[in-house]
A and B are shown apart, each in its own frame.
Chain A
């Protein structure tokens, strides 16, 4: 794969305010880019058949900030993006609010999509962030993604003991 490690601009942050998607797009704007992919993760209203009202996101902030920056740098290097930018929100989010946003620009669309995809998959695999869903019946629970976790550990046992 042809890539230009270190040439692209990178931005990564944990935020406790609504994510400024226009700001993320501006951060990756580049005259050499022919494509920009924008991925948004949003709070949805149902999880495993239960009605969800909102989600609390908690992070191990220092580690999550550091690892998000590492993930973004990996994507930049791997796909040679012109610019790549990712933010994850923490705190209480209502339905429809953006929990994570990733913008990636590249000369061509395929690596732009791939870079954004890489960042969201790695976030889900290894970023120390947790979510507690608030249900319509007044209860709340930490989400334990058992199925994903099993896959993650078997596929990356050398990195996540």
Chain B
């Protein structure tokens, strides 16, 4: 159920490392319908970038790894997370 206000018309997605290189910038604006999920967002992002992104890249919302059925809400901090390689 949608609780916290008006759904976003567009969201900003933070990009890092190989994904930032693939898009040529560190963030991208994505138009989204009301009640769009993480899965919807990934579908939009892969449109035109299917070769650059795996089918199910990791997504973080508000700095936590997010499930694909998570509904995106206004004000969410969204990031696309390439395979991590710290250490």
Contact = CB atoms under 8 A, between A and B. Distances in A.
Interface stretch (B4-12, B13-21, B28-36, B43-51): B13-21
B23 interface: no
Question: Chain A interface mostly helix, strand, loop or mixed?
Answer: mixed
Given A58-B17, A142-B17, A144-B18, A131 B65 contact: no
B87 A63 contact: no
B66 interface: yes
A66 interface: yes
A159 interface: yes
A129 B84 contact: yes
Interface string A45-64: 00000000000011110111
Contacts of A41: 87
A158 to B, nearest CB: 10
A135 interface: no
Contacts of A67: 63
A127 interface: yes
Interface residues of B, number: 21
Contacts of B66: 161
B67 interface: yes
Interface string B54-87: 0010101001011110000000000101111111
A41 B86 CA distance: 10
Interface stretch (A5-13, A28-36, A103-111, A118-126): A118-126
Contact of A126 (B21, B68, B84): B84
B81 A145 contact: no
A129 B86 CA distance: 5
Nearest to B77: A62
Contacts of B56: 161
Interface of B: 14, 16-18, 21, 56, 58, 60, 63, 65-68, 79, 81-87
25 contacts: A41-B87, A57-B86, A63-B79, A66-B63, A100-B86, A124-B87, A127-B84, A127-B87, A129-B87, A130-B16, A130-B18, A130-B84, A130-B85, A130-B86, A131-B85, A131-B86, A142-B18, A142-B21, A144-B83, A145-B83, A145-B85, A149-B83, A161-B65, A161-B66, A161-B67
